[in-house]
Amino acid sequence: MAVAKRIALFLTVNFLVVLTVSGILSFFNIQPFLNSYGLNYGQLAIFCLIWGFVGALISLMLSKIIAKWMMGVVVIDPNTRDPAHATLLRTVHNLAQKAGLTEMPEVGIYDSPEVNAFATGPTRSRSLVAVSSGLLSRLQYGEVEGVLGHEIAHIANGDMVTMTLLQGVINAFVMFFARVVAFAIARGFSRNSDEESASVSPMFYQIIVMVLEIVFMILGTLVIAAFSRYREFRADEGGARLAGKEKMISALSALQKTIQIKDPEHDQQSVQALKISSNTGFSRFFATHPPLEKRIANLQNMR
């Protein structure tokens, strides 16, 4: 079922991206950037900016819907009579008010043994804070409050929008430079193979583009991951100011003890970066979250 959801989501989002981009390119009459005369850098730049940002922005606009569907988030009714749900809702709203949010985020719970939480949404006024059932059952109230403070800080800092804009810029740069470098390489090979013809083989050019996009995207991922780690330190500090420094430290310490509990069914990339903790990955340079011990040390040194 989870695999079917992911496939359906992938196809739906990509259909919307292609449809939107095609409409924009047609509306603004963007001409092909590669012709018999070479590359039209102006047209290429516009083409890459549109493709780079449209996908990221559509994902942002659908982020709440995607998270609810893929993670199975059940949103708490603001008029709930369940004491535990009412306490969770009240805590989130109190923290949101302290953070200066004018619109209260939706609050939801998703069924998972993983001790985690995440924040998402297209804007500060249309956000969602979701916590796992594992977090509620394993952490003390003060620790839960620290986690919630961290997630509210993500919203208050506008991290969802910032990450989207950064992803859009990286996408555009990757597409642009991959095509510029690929054209130079393909033209060089054409000249070497036939001195009388400098025409570029479209198939050879596209193969080089694909290879270079993979290489450049890996480099771009390093930039995104580095900013994500910086943003986590900032959200920890924001959570400490909202919920209290000791509660934030206690929350991260509790996460250290439960970090081995993983739930593959809820390991979604669309919300992974905005969870309070995540796998460090095969390299610390690609990790979206700093090690928990470094985050705790950072808070301990916080004034």
Q: What is the mean pLDDT of residues 16-23?
A: 80
| Burial call 162-181: b when 16+ CB within 10 Å, e when fewer | ebbebbbbbbbbbbbebbbe
Out of 106, 143, 145, 151, pick the active-site residue: 151
pLDDT in tens, 110-157: 999 999 999 999 999 999 999 999 999 999 999 999 999 999 999 999
Q: What is the pLDDT of residue 174?
A: 95
Query: Do residues 99 and 238 lie in contact, with contact meaning Cβ atoms separated by under 8 Å?
Result: yes
Q: What is the pLDDT of residue 39?
A: 81
The C-alpha atoms of residue 298 and residue 294 are separated, in whole angstroms, by: 6
State what percent of residues in the chain have pLDDT above 90.
61
Q: What is the pLDDT of residue 29?
A: 74
Q: How far is CA 145 from the centre of its chain?
A: 23
Inter-axis angle of helices 141-156 and 159-193, to 10 degrees? Answer: 60
The C-alpha atoms of residue 233 and residue 171 are separated, in whole angstroms, by: 25
Q: What is the mean pLDDT of residues 277-299?
A: 81
Q: What is the pLDDT of residue 273?
A: 55
Backbone φ, ψ for residue 32 (5° rounding):
-55, 135
Backbone φ, ψ for residue 281 (5° rounding):
80, -175
pLDDT in tens, 222-280: 999 999 999 999 999 999 999 999 999 999 999 988 877 666 665 555 555 556 666 55
Q: What is the pLDDT of residue 6?
A: 62
Q: What is the mean pLDDT of residues 22-47?
A: 78
pLDDT band (50, 70, 90) for residue 168:
very high
Backbone φ, ψ for residue 225 (5° rounding):
-65, -40
For the record, the structure tokens of 94 come out as: 């109190």
Mean residue pLDDT of the chain comes to: 86
The C-alpha atoms of residue 288 and residue 291 are separated, in whole angstroms, by: 10
Q: Is residue 110 classed as helix, strand or coil in its secondary structure?
A: strand
Residue 63 has pLDDT above 80, yes or no: yes
151 is catalytic: yes
Q: Which residues contact 75 (CB under 8 A, 6 or more apart)?
A: 68, 106, 107, 108, 128
CB count in 10 Å sphere of residue 159? 24
Q: What is the mean pLDDT of residues 179-200?
A: 72
Domain boundaries, the chain: 1-303
- Which amino acid is located at 20 in the chain? T
